[in-house]
Amino acid sequence: MFPFSNQSQPASNNNYNMSTSTTRWVRRLIISLTIFVWIALGIIAINAAGYIIGTLLVFIVACLLAYAIAPVVKLLQRFMPRFLAILLVYVVGFGLLGFLIYTVISTSIQQFIMLAANFSAMLTPGPHGQQPVIFQVAQRFGISQAQIDVVNRQLATQLQNFAGSLTGGLLPLVSSIAGALINILLTAIISIYLLIDGSRAVRWLRTRLPAPQRDRVGLLLDVLQNVVGGYIRGQLLLSAIIAVIVGVGMQLLREPYAVLIGVLSFVMEFIPVLGTIFTGVISVLIALTQGWLTTLLVLVFFILVHILEGYVLAPRIVGRAVGLHPVISLLALTAGAELFGPWGAIFAAPFAGMLQALLFAFWSQWRKAHRDQFPKEPVEPAQTGDAKATTQITTHETIERTETTRVPTGEE
């Protein structure tokens, strides 16, 4: 019996090892297939979103508008009913928007017409057969006459095609304007409904879902509130600050289109990283007609604005809400522009920031649930100047112990 048992024991061990190895490979296969299925579903969802991008855009803008207005409505709700607070915010908002359109936008339109007239004059030859001014400026940069003639012919052809399409496409233009007005009205109506009933939906999600899912849904809602709401309010504030700085700076530099450039900088600031650069390039090109000194001053001014925006204002105003690295912002900008065009470039940063915050939050939650897989590293004795750090570490460990030993109640 003993020899038989000694021979059967290695066989049983081999069978156990084979079954363990098979189980491990099956588990890896299931995980790989699950990841592949989720990637495929994501690609299908992105392709489907491309067909309904107009409807999605209206809903997304309405959600963003509701997130931006929600703190003001909550503040006014202390003194009046919620519906009256929402109505007051929209009446004041549309009044300010009308005043802005009447003053700033009308001035910008006048300056744009002036710029177009001056550009047309720069393309017109002189009375004695002199070359146009813009060609003289191009020759200063080493551009040959043959290259100027090619550009001139291409520009004339494109202007003729544009004029023909404009005269023949009056009905589509009117239809596009009417569609834009309808989308604006739908956005306002949807945002009002979200402000009225949004808190009820959030309360229902937090209290009526199954208990195991409440924490995850609550985490998702908190991330949306902090990242998306903070990004919208921060980006609006940052765009307004940059627009005022650029407009005042261009006025001090005696640029004839200061208001127009200020409005342009407000719009371009919604494009992360590259918005100020685009505005600076356009402003420098316009300043070339004013002389070399003005061009140099405008270039130096926008370099300073870019440094101020990238290293001082944006990290403190928007960076705290989104917290994206510039490289990730550029990758998100490129991907958004490739998938959904200009609107994708504008909304790429908040979406990437929300995704990053969700991943970090779920990772922290998973790590807290699997503390045994992350042993604490031994803390070296603090030096003389590290008493505050030691106190913070001790406090953090105390909080962790409290959370670990806390007994869940029925309400949770």
- Check the CA dihedral 71-76-77-83 and report its sign: negative
Same domain, 154 and 234: no
Q: Is residue 77 part of a domain?
A: yes
Least Cα distance to 334 among 280, 279, 274, 278 occurs for 274
Same domain, 69 and 192: yes
User: Exposed (0-12), middle (13-18) or buried (19+): which is 198, by Cβ within 10 Å?
Assistant: middle
Same domain, 59 and 187: yes
Same domain, 187 and 65: yes
Q: Is residue 279 part of a domain?
A: yes
Same domain, 243 and 286: yes
Q: What is the pLDDT of residue 133?
A: 66
Q: What is the pLDDT of residue 244?
A: 92
List of residues 6+ apart from 2 with CB closer than 8 A: none
Same domain, 190 and 277: no
Domain that holds residue 264: 227-364
Same domain, 160 and 247: no
Same domain, 235 and 331: yes
Domain boundary residue among 164, 185, 210?
210
Domain boundary residue among 349, 364, 379?
364
Q: What is the pLDDT of residue 321?
A: 61
Q: Is residue 299 part of a domain?
A: yes
3-class secondary structure per residue, the chain:
CHHHHHHHHHHHHHHHHHHHHHHHHHHHHHHHHHHHHHHHHHHHHHHHHHHCHHHHHHHHHHHHHHHHHHHHHHHHCCCCCHHHHHHHHHHHHHHHHHHHHHHHHHHHHHHHHHHHHHHHHHHCCCCCCCCCHHHHHHHHCCCCHHHHHHHHHHHHHHHHHHHHHHHHCHHHHHHHHHHHHHHHHHHHHHHHHHHHHHHHHHHHHHHHCCHHHHHHHHHHHHHHHHHHHHHHHHHHHHHHHHHHHHHHHHHHCCCCCHHHHHHHHHHHCCCCCCHHHHHHHHHHHHHHHHCHHHHHHHHHHHHHHHHHHHHHHHHHHCHHHHCCCHHHHHHHHHHHHHHHHHHHHHHHHHHHHHHHHHHHHHHHHHHHHCHHHCCCCCCCCCCHHHHHHHHHHHHHHHHHHHHHHCCCCCCC
Domain count along the chain: 2
Same domain, 183 and 234: no
Same domain, 242 and 173: no
Least Cα distance to 346 among 336, 355, 354 occurs for 336
Q: What is the pLDDT of residue 131?
A: 67
Q: What is the pLDDT of residue 402?
A: 40
Least Cα distance to 205 among 224, 227, 181 occurs for 224
Q: Is residue 87 part of a domain?
A: yes
Same domain, 206 and 64: yes
Q: Is residue 80 part of a domain?
A: yes
Q: The whole model's pTM is what?
A: 0.58
Domain boundary residue among 322, 349, 364?
364
Q: What is the pLDDT of residue 95?
A: 84
Q: What is the pLDDT of residue 351?
A: 77
Q: What is the pLDDT of residue 394?
A: 38
Same domain, 89 and 129: yes
Q: Is residue 394 part of a domain?
A: no
Q: Is residue 30 part of a domain?
A: no
Q: Is residue 112 part of a domain?
A: yes
| pLDDT < 70: residue spans in the chain | 1-21, 49-51, 53, 104-105, 108, 111, 115-142, 144-145, 148, 152, 156, 158-173, 319-324, 326, 373-412
